Amino acid sequence: MLLGGLIGFWRWFNWREHSQDGPIFSAAAHYGVDPALVKAVVWRESCFNPGLTGRAGEIGLMQIIPKAAGKDWTDAEHLGNLNPEHLFDPVTNTLAGTWYLQKLLKRYARTDNPLPYALADYNAGRSNVLKWGHGAAATNSQAFIEQIGFPSTKNYVKSVTQRYEHYRSGFSSK
């Protein structure tokens, strides 16, 4: 009985983990971001649940804040006003989130590895990244990770990076 339950849970989670691959791959291709990275962010932000809402008003797969990242995306893409309800749509949400992630990766392109900076910014905001990025941490990603002042953000960066590596190894065999 217990084994059957575990197998059922594994099948459900495996289905769920791949349930948003279409929108993830499409948004990643559209904005030139590694789909393994987009999938890792979706995993951490919502565990592939497009109907999830956060405490601060974040919506959907990539937990987009409509008045911040959502508005920046629609302005950059000349899409007009964004109805927050549209962010529950996996395609719209992953497009907005991937656009924002690409923007953050470009923002930190002069570092040895933009990923930790971009992920910290995605999670805690630019002002915090600027506080943590002094001295060697301004361009050295390992020093930067050590300087991250919020344990939850440090954990976020590490967990998304680990999941990214996990998904990259799976995608390379396809």
Question: Could you list the active site residues?
Answer: 45
Residues 60 and 155: their CA atoms lie apart, in Å, by: 21
- Give SS3 for 59: strand
Looking up tokens 């506080």, which residue turns up? 131
- Name every residue whose Cβ is closer than 8 Å to that of residue 57 and which is 6 or more positions away in sequence: 65, 66, 67
Residues 33 and 98: their CA atoms lie apart, in Å, by: 7
Q: How far apart are the first and last CA of the chain?
A: 35
Residues 109 and 78: their CA atoms lie apart, in Å, by: 25
